[in-house]
Structure 1
Amino acid sequence: MKNLSIHIIDRIQEHMKALMIDEVDWLSKEATVEKWEEKRPLSYGGSFLSLQLNTGFVFEFSYIASQGTQYCTCKAEDEGYNTLYNCCGEVCDWEVPMVIKNNGVNELEEEVFVFTGKQKELWL
């Protein structure tokens, strides 16, 4: 993974932390990245990184649009306001981390990990 940009590595780590999947087998010492491709997502749901491992697993890192939320209207005087993010992180629109894991052979064995908390929980 040393050839990945720092920005992409940070985003992978954000996803792994948010989705609490740091115990996934692809992190084992035996697994190595055979092929990777950075992508520029065109819209919500598009992956920004595809990793193919020597174990046969493929991981697609992406974001999806948060559901049932609204455009951020938070103000500095609002409870829980975070100046770093200009937001309270409660019900505002945001990009939700998602990872799709598959073995490249059987789509029925595909696993999808989607963050289910609030945006502010990623800021801790």
Structure 2
Amino acid sequence: MSSAPVLVVLGSGPGIGISTAKLFAQRHFGQIALVSRNAERLENDKKEVEQAGKEAGKHVEVHTLPTNIGDLDQLPATLAKIQKLGPLGCVFYNAARIRSSDILMTPVEELEEDFKVA
């Protein structure tokens, strides 16, 4: 376990999630945990965050944790892994299901799935 505070990005991905992780890598945190359903994208995100830190002259240790945080059977194991990394400095909750739809025409079942993530 490191003594460096950990940034946890729940919902790493294109846009806000990865941009936030890169900014924090450049300015604040030496340890970042990226959590997302998409394991392949996580590996790319990891490289981007490490590069952003490197460009700012910082060494950043990036941990990838492929997890669907809407699945309450998966989440406790992921949180236990994060806890072992060191003290939490910040948790950035960015998880969402993104798709275009008319909210008034969306079936209740889909809304329930969205609420499980958010």
TM class by smaller structure: under 0.3
Higher helix share: 2
Higher strand share: 1
Structure scoring higher RCO (CA < 8 A, sep ≥ 6) equals 2
Larger radius of gyration: 1
